[in-house]
Amino acid sequence: MTQVKMKIKKGDEVVVLTGKDKGKKGEVLKVIPSESRVVVDGINQAKKHRKPSQASAGGIDTINMPLHVSNVALADPKTGKPTRVGYTTLKDGKKVRVAKASGETIG
């Protein structure tokens, strides 16, 4: 699988574009660039049955499964709606991410 440039970073607020959680917002917990996937808090959850061990009691855990990066979009800092991400260079030479919809700089 080819590795693409990830414009979404850990800690970003994203909106889900497709699937069972379409329209929901959440924070990116983990980015997996080799698979072009992101893990979003509270989105795409699955039940995991765990066997009891000496360290922990068994039971059913809810875990966040990875989503493909094409199925999420960054939430615009101004409006909260999904937006694409662009890059621009500031006067001091620093490269920053910019929301295409509003022109706001991102984190």
Please report whether residue 65 resides in a domain: yes
pLDDT at site 46: 96
pLDDT-flagged residues of the chain (< 50): none
d(CA 59, CA 42): 19
In the numeric block, the tokens 């919809």 are attached to 101
Decide if 93 is inside a domain.
Answer: no
Kindly report the CATH number assigned to the domain that includes residue 71.
2.30.30.30
pLDDT of 66: 97
Beta bridge partners of 87: 97
Residue 90 within a domain: no
* CB 12 within 8 Å of CB 37: no
Has residue 33 been placed in a domain? Answer: yes
> Looking at residue 1, what is its pLDDT?
59
Residue 102 lies in a domain: no
Does residue 35 lie within any of the structural domains?
yes
Number of Cβ atoms within 10 Å of the Cβ of 29: 15
- pTM for this one? 0.83
Domains identified in the chain, total number: 1
Domain around 35: 13-51+59-82
CB 16 within 8 A of CB 24: yes
**Domain presence at residue 22:** yes
Question: Dihedrals φ, ψ of 53, to 5°?
Answer: -135, 180
Please report where in the chains the tokens 């006067």 appear, as a residue: 91
Residue 18 domain-assigned (yes or no): yes
